[in-house]
Amino acid sequence: MTSRERVRAALNHTAPDRAPRDLWALPYISLFRKKELDDLLRKYPLDFESPEFSPGSSDKDLQKYARAGTYTDEWGSVWHVGEPGVVGEVKEPILEDWSRLERFMPPRNATRTEEWDHVNRMCEASTKFMISATCARPFERLQFLRGTENLYIDLAYDTPEVRTLISMVHEYYLNEVSLWARTSVDAVMLMDDWGSNTSLLISPEMWRAIFKPIYKDYCEKIHREGKFVFFHSDGNIEAIYPDLIEVGVDVLNSQLFCMDIERLGAMYSGKITFWGEIDRQRILPFGSPTDVAAAVHRVRKALDRGNGGVIAQCEWGKDNPRENIEAVFRAWE
């Protein structure tokens, strides 16, 4: 099987020759442990790739994390990078003061024909399963624009300003996912971190009232073009698993070890594809390769029915031993 065929078989639950492999190497790994990364990828090639807008654009984006300091994102908020290779935080949100809202405009979506042509050429030349290089993240973008504490207060009081801003952000991302869905990618990525270690960050009722319809709009746009919907969300999001399935998410990357993995498997195997992962809070940074293998075996026993529906994915964090990442893929084999 080619990588694309393998991933499609996993997503369609039609028995791929093995579970597709995916690795999320955080910027520190790509910048400062690149030889280890390259060695691992030679041994365990991945089945996924993302196209660039233009040659070298991914490398250029990576460089903003290469040193401590600040940078301004395309929406106007200022990020502080405290440690080289570690994604920073928004410390100066552009809309911390609502008085700026009246004059605020989102950035323009990428629309240059030559950029989309480059995306399509990359997809059509590859046998990898291609996922969009950008992702819709409305909840996180709202935090980046307002500041997290401010946003929670806005949502609690349901202010007119936050409703205006939600509509503005949603319209931007709806246009963006439409543009990506019309390219030659196989899937479009959505993401928002919705959970703490123990529960959802807002009430499930508020989530369903405000954000569920937003994701439904994205999924409908993406499916209309015949593409898959991949979704990432950190934390304990067990309360909204059935909602994500209902709105049309095909593949879900979540922190399984914050939840009851066995219950997730019992309730949702066959209804969605589980996109990893392995515990990156404790086992990958602090465990042994034997601990890692046991974690993989637990995930497989709970989620893997032998006919697809699972992806062998993990995240490689700054201080994680290479041996533990390699143990993930070895155990999946």
- The whole-number pLDDT of residue 55 equals 78
Number of neighbours of residue 132 by Cβ within 10 angstroms: 24
Confidence of residue 108 (pLDDT cuts 50, 70, 90): confident
Mean pLDDT of 181-187: 97
HEC string of the chain? CCHHHHHHHHHCCCCCCCCCEEEEECHHHHHHCHHHHHHHHHHCCCCEECCCCCCCHHHHHHHHHCCCEEEECCCCCEEEECCCCCCCEEEECCCCCHHHHHHCCCCCCCCCHHHHHHHHHHHHHCCCEEEEEEEECHHHHHHHHHCHHHHHHHHHHCCHHHHHHHHHHHHHHHHHHHHHHCCCCCEEEEECCCECCCCECCCHHHHHHHCHHHHHHHHHHHHHCCCEEEEEECCCCHHHHHHHHHHCCCEEEECHHHCCHHHHHHHHECCEEEECCCCCCCHHHHCCHHHHHHHHHHHHHHHCCCCCCEEEEEEECCCCCHHHHHHHHHHHC
Mean pLDDT of 25-29: 96
pLDDT in tens, 72-107: 999 999 999 999 999 999 999 999 999 999 999 999
Contact 131, 185 (CB under 8 A): yes
Q: What global pTM score does this model have?
A: 0.95
Counted domains in the chain? 1
Give φ, ψ of 203 to 5 degrees: -65, 145
Please tell me the distance from the alpha carbon of residue 267 to that of residue 215, in angstroms, as a whole number.
22
Confidence of residue 110 (pLDDT cuts 50, 70, 90): low
pLDDT in tens, 39-78: 999 999 999 999 988 777 788 888 889 999 999 999 999 9
pLDDT in tens, 213-262: 999 999 999 999 999 999 999 999 999 999 999 999 999 999 999 999 99
Closest alpha carbon to 284 in 257, 251, 302: 257
Confidence of residue 122 (pLDDT cuts 50, 70, 90): very high
Mean pLDDT of 280-303: 98
Per-chain mean pLDDT for the chain:
95
Please tell me the distance from the alpha carbon of residue 207 to that of residue 152, in angstroms, as a whole number.
12
- The whole-number pLDDT of residue 111 equals 63
304 falls within a domain: yes
Q: Please, which residues have CB within 8 angstroms of residue 329's CB and are 6 or more apart in sequence?
A: 21, 43, 44, 312
Closest alpha carbon to 286 in 258, 324, 326: 324
Please tell me the distance from the alpha carbon of residue 303 to that of residue 308, in angstroms, as a whole number.
10
- The whole-number pLDDT of residue 59 equals 80
Q: Which amino acid is at 98?
A: W
Mean pLDDT of 126-153: 96
Mean pLDDT of 313-327: 97
158 falls within a domain: yes
Residue 282: pLDDT above 90? yes
Domain span at residue 297 reads 3-57+106-332
229 falls within a domain: yes
CATH (domain of 34): 3.20.20.210
Mean pLDDT of 124-133: 96
Range with the poorest average pLDDT among 84-98, 106-120, 314-328: 106-120
pLDDT in tens, 146-170: 999 999 999 999 999 999 999 999 9
The Cα-based distances of 215 to 81, 170, 226, 278, 289 in angstroms read 30, 9, 17, 26, 38
Residue 311: pLDDT above 80? yes
